[in-house]
Amino acid sequence: MAPNDHSVILHHFDESPFSEKIRLVFGLKNIAWTSVRISRIMPRPDLMPMTGGYRRTPVMQIGADIYCDTQCIIRELERRCPAPSLFPGGNEGLASASAMWTDKSFFQNAVNLVFGSLADKVPQSFIEDREKLRGAKFDVAAMKAAIPQMRDQFRAHVGWIETQLGSGGPWLGGGAMGLFDINAYMNIWYVRSNLPVADELLAQFPNVRAWETRVRAIGHGTRTEMSTAEALEIGRRATPQTIEVEDPHDPNGRTVGDLVDVRPDDYGKIAVRGRIVALSAQSIAIRRHDDLAGDVVVHFPRAGFLVTPAA
């Protein structure tokens, strides 16, 4: 059955840990979604017209509304599909803020551990692509040399999960699975998927191992495949659905209609330019036009992103 223009499309690749977070949200909420598999490295000629250059993975598309970054994707999924909630015991602030731990220091630790261990097996084309992404050397030899320290740090991060599960459980937020679990699980999944030594690294954490099995059992909802070209065509035909929302408390006096550049503050710092449609403390949506994608609205989170007036 052909998905309609308002179904949820995820642009992702199977090995992507950030995409695994979203696939688990689909599982938890039992969402039927459309999978568009993108290449692990650039170019992504059917996706860039819609994002305006944002190149990180995953990206969610609903018609001509494009959601960048897992923070933003998760917020939108919770809004559209509120049950079951990602915040079953409350704790929405804490669970959301946990991404600043899991997606940054914990993730960098896991990345260094994975690529340091794969070292010689990492293709040169991948290394070159990720150097462009980082704007810095992707030094697998240095990562290999740092494996002992990365193991120490990985153990410390996993130790927090073990302690938390031991003090309540069976989930990180208490009695039901939620975003806390999905955020924390991402890096464990990533290390497990890539390194046979994961068994040894996790051996001393019985709570974590039992919890991992419970998280995995949630699955990925119902997945249907679509090509990148079909997704672009859906974007081109659709009209963005985002309504205008001002933020009277914007610290910089920004307002709907302002022309701005939005970019990540850590890596993949490509600016996407557009006119503000909606603003809040946690989100910004900008309207842009592209010859291939037509009119689109691109959504970003605020934490971890820079918004600057377009020069």
Ligand X SMILES: N[C@@H](CCC(=O)N[C@@H](CS)C(=O)NCC(=O)O)C(=O)O
Q: Residues in the site for ligand X, rule: CB under 6 A? A: 16-18, 55-57, 69-71, 103, 133
Cβ-based nearer residue to ligand X, 165 or 191: 191
Say how far apart CA 68 and CA 21 lie, in whole Å: 14
User: Minimum distance between the CB of residue 257 and ligand X, rounded to whole angstroms?
Assistant: 27
3-state SS assignment for residue 268: coil
Q: For residues 123 and 153, is the Cβ–Cβ distance under 8 A?
A: no
Give the residue with the Cβ less far from ligand X, 53 or 169.
Answer: 53
- Residue 18 or 171 with smaller CB distance to ligand X: 18
What's the CA gap between 91 and 180, in Å, rounded?
A: 9
C-alpha triplet 24, 30, 34: angle, nearest 5°: 75
Min dist. Cβ of residue 56 to ligand X (A) = 3
Q: Which CB atom, from 17 or from 240, has the smaller least distance to ligand X?
A: 17
Cis, bond preceding 309 (omega within 30 deg of 0): no
Residue with Cβ nearer ligand X (55 or 263): 55
User: Which segments of the chain are extended strands (E)?
Assistant: 9-12, 32-37, 59-62, 65-68, 222-226, 259-264, 272-279, 283-290, 294-301, 305-309
Provide, rounded to whole angstroms, the least separation between the CB of residue 60 and ligand X.
10
Q: What is the β-pairing status of strands 294-301 and 272-279?
A: unpaired
Q: How far is the CB of 104 from ligand X (least distance, A)?
A: 8
- For the bound state, the minimum distance from the C-beta of residue 220 to ligand X, rounded and expressed in Å, comes to 16
